[in-house]
Amino acid sequence: MAKNKNRKHAPQTQQAVNKSNEAEAAVKAPAAEAEPAAAAAEEITEQKAAPEVIEAPAEENQPDEVQPKEEAQSEPAQTKAKKQNQNKSKSKSNEKKRDAVYQIKTKRTSGILKAYITFTYRILHPKVTPRLILYGLVVAAPGVFFFKDIFWKVFFIAIGIALILLGFFRQYISLAITKKNDPDYINKSDFTYDFFDLSIAISKNGELISRITNYKDITAFYYDDAYYYLALAKEVHVLPKNAFTVGEPADFEEFIYKKSKKVCRWLPNKLSDRIKKRRAARAVASEDMFS
């Protein structure tokens, strides 16, 4: 009886097991179908997010790679621009040298200052030196011949000697004062005189400071053994004969005469030459009177 009972319950249990398996399979089936869908969704989100993750560092790293190239390109550009400017300046200076008929380069030296002071004393104030010497003799004469008191004798004689010495050495006194007060002499400034066909350009330390557009503005022209003295716009310019960088000094006088119709006058340095010049001037004046 027990065996029969077990046999009756066996099919029922088998059926129950089969039903439970079918239920588990039915539950697992949607889960299995959901897993590929979830995986596909994750792949899509990864594909969308992947370009953003990759491009962000590329954009951040890109300027670091480009900047050195730009700097490397800018440096040659700057050097090229500098070279072009240098070539332009050189070409301009070469054009000036080509266009200039005469060019003189000089510095404000002690010799230039002495020549300028001597010229102004001889041309603008030619009678000051003899007058000072004459005044000194007149003042010293009472002390020598009239006054017997030692104080007054020494007083007049000392003043007379001072005036005489001032007449002989006043240019050297002026030279010493000018050396202390002239900034161009202290700084040793460079002066360049360019004489073109129609104008004159004067530069100091490479910068243009004056331009004469008409040679008729030349008021006087002198020369001695070492210098030319050119009066321009109420200023006297001392031009050393050994400072010509363009043109020949021997032809300079003729050039100035053609442009300005000013004769270059001789200023003798030696006393004997001065006497000869005065005699020649007197002879010419007397011939003009009787002609």
In tens, the pLDDT along 239-289 reads 999 999 999 998 999 999 999 999 999 888 776 666 776 666 666 665 555
- Verify that 153 and 217 share a domain, yes or no: no
User: Do residues 139 and 160 touch, judged by C-beta distance below 8 A?
Assistant: yes
- In a domain? residue 237: yes
Same-domain check for residues 178 and 206: no
Q: Is the pLDDT of residue 1 over 50?
A: no
Tokens of 198: 């129609």
Work out the pLDDT band at 44, boundaries 50, 70, 90: very low
Q: Which of 142, 159, 189 is the last residue of a domain?
A: 189
Q: Is the pLDDT of residue 34 over 70?
A: no
Domain identity same for 249 and 201: yes
How far does the chain reach from its first CA to its final CA, in angstroms?
190
Residue 80, domain member (yes or no): no
Read off φ and ψ for residue 84, nearest 5 degrees. Answer: -65, -40
Same domain, yes or no: 196 and 185? no
- pLDDT tens, residue by residue, 47-65: 544 444 444 444 444 444 4
Tell me if 65 is assigned to some domain.
no
Q: State which of 189, 213, 248 marks the end of a domain.
A: 189
Q: What angle do CA 286, 119, 252 make, to 5 degrees?
A: 80
pLDDT at res. 16: 46
Task: Kindly give the pairing relationship between strand 218-223 and strand 265-266.
Answer: parallel
Residue 141 belongs to some domain of the structure: yes
The total number of residues written for the chain in this structure: 291
My answer on whether 175 and 196 are in the same domain is no
Q: In the prediction, which pLDDT does 143 show?
A: 87
Q: Are residues 199 and 180 in the same domain?
A: no
My answer on whether 172 and 205 are in the same domain is no
Task: State how many domains the chain has.
Answer: 2
Q: Examine the domain organization and report whether 200 and 249 are in the same domain.
A: yes
C-alpha 139/C-alpha 148 separation (Å) is 15
Model confidence at 158, pLDDT cuts 50, 70, 90, reads very high
pLDDT single digits (tens) 203-221: 999 999 999 999 999 999 9
The answer to whether residue 215 sits within a structural domain is: yes
Domain identity same for 196 and 265: yes
Domain presence at residue 82:
no
Residues 214 and 230 in one domain: yes
Residue 245 and residue 195 in contact, taking contact as beta carbons nearer than 8 Å:
no
Q: Which percentage of the chain shows pLDDT scores above 90?
A: 45
- Is 262 domain-assigned? yes
- Residue range 140-156: mean pLDDT, rounded: 89
Final residue belonging to a domain, choices 155, 189, 223? 189
- Residue 194: phi, psi to the nearest 5? -110, 120
The candidate with the shortest Cα–Cα distance to 113, out of 105, 121, 101, is: 121
pLDDT at residue 66 tops 80? no
Residues 111-141 as b/e (b if ≥16 CB within 10 A, e otherwise) read ebbbbbbbbeebeeeeeebeebbebbeebbe
Q: So what's the pLDDT on residue 268? A: 83
233 lies in the same domain as 181:
no
pLDDT recorded at residue 218: 93
Strand partners, 190: 107
Question: In sequence order, which residues have a C-beta less than 8 Å from that of residue 162 and are 6 or more positions away?
Answer: 136
Q: Which domain holds residue 184?
A: 109-189
Output the domain CATH number for residue 240.
Answer: 3.30.720
- Check whether residue 153 and residue 124 sit in a common domain: yes
8-state DSSP, 217: G
- Which pLDDT value is given to residue 232? 86
For the chain, give the mean pLDDT.
75
**Are the C-beta atoms of 166 and 147 separated by less than 8 Å?**
no
Laid out side by side, the sheet with 227-232 consists of 235-240, 227-232, 218-223, 265-266
For residue 4, is it within any domain? no
Answer yes or no: is pLDDT of 4 > 80: no
